[in-house]
Amino acid sequence: MKFIAIQGEKGSYSEIAAKSYFGKKIEISNSFSFKELFDKVKRKNVDYGLIPIENSLYGSVLDSLDLLQKNSLKIVGEINLQITHNLLSTKKYKSSQIESIYSHPQALAQCSVFLDSLKNVKLIPSYDTAGSSKNLRENNQGKKAIIASKEAASIYGLKIIKSNIQNKKKNFTRFLVISNKPINPKIKRPKSSISIELKSIPGALHKALSVFALREIDLVKIESRPLPDKPFQYLFYIDFIGNLKDQNIKQALKHLKEISISIKIFGTYEFGKFIYN
């Protein structure tokens, strides 16, 4: 039995992702915040943590990125989950009757087209989608609704008022599996992640990307995040194709060190599968 920390309640998208990645025989440790989740993994209260890192419509989950940098945990896996949002309530109201809608800010943003079409509805950001279902069940007053998964509807006994309310059908959230130590399985389609703080020299980022381009290492993603002590200077998160054990990647990182103030290596893992639901 594996113990997996996620952020959110039963029926959350993180739980669906965890079951898709590890299979159903896992014990989930629900966490209120990402910080609590990272702490559980660091203290080895759980075997792994699973965090949302990026949504294909809304972009990176900034808290997850920042906590990866602050903590010295390794990325050991990845999974991409198709997200289908649904409007749920305790009774079978019409969408037009609903007075207020609770959900996670990212879920509200991913359904903005549908939500904009409703008149006089109050949108209330809350800490997670499934947690909102639980609150709705417990404080059942007025014509309130939430946005969550179909799984949350069945767990909390809610009616589906409208299904598939997300802006785009192609809506995926990428989750990372994090652990105390790197894994060493056979990796067929390896992907690696690092972060770098570059020296303040002209063309620094161009030079850093040359390190990869010169060796024909393909970048998958680059994301900048602020350096808190240096206003308007940045840390770069870079995902690339390849295994940290490969000779050309070892050379690339050696080269990168020459032009960096610091490099953090998160690990090599298998490219995430896409799970449709």
Strand pairing category for 86-89 and 48-55: unpaired
Beta bridge partner(s), residue 275: 81
- DSSP letter at 95? G
What would the x/- binding string for its own copies be over residues 81 to 120, using CB under 8 A? Answer: ------------------------x---------------
Q: Which stretch, 1-9, 36-44, 176-184, 214-222, contacts its own copies (CB under 8 A)?
A: 214-222
Among 15, 47, 54, 78, binds its own copies (CB under 8 A): 54
By CB under 8 A, the count of residues binding its own copies is 40
Q: Is 209 in the site for its own copies (CB under 8 A)?
A: yes
Q: Is 57 in the site for its own copies (CB under 8 A)?
A: yes
**Phi and psi (nearest 5°) for 14?**
-60, -40
Give the three-class secondary structure for 90: coil
For position 228 contacting its own copies by CB under 8 A, the verdict is: yes
Contact indicator for 19, 12 with CB cutoff of 8 Å: no
Angle at CA of residue 191, ends 188 and 194, nearest 5°: 155
Q: Is 59 in the site for its own copies (CB under 8 A)?
A: yes
Which listed residue (38, 175, 240, 266) is catalytic?
175
What's the start-to-end Cα distance of the chain, in Å?
25
Closest contact distance (angstroms) between CB of 203 and its own copies is: 4
Binding range to its own copies, per CB under 8 A, among 88-96, 137-145, 204-212, 247-255: 204-212
Of 57, 127, 123, 135, the residue nearest 89 (C-alpha): 135
Active-site residue 129, yes or no? no
Binding site for its own copies (CB under 8 A): 54-59, 62, 80, 105, 125, 167-168, 170-172, 174, 202-203, 205-207, 209-210, 212-213, 216, 218-226, 228-229, 231-232, 234
Active site residues: 173, 175
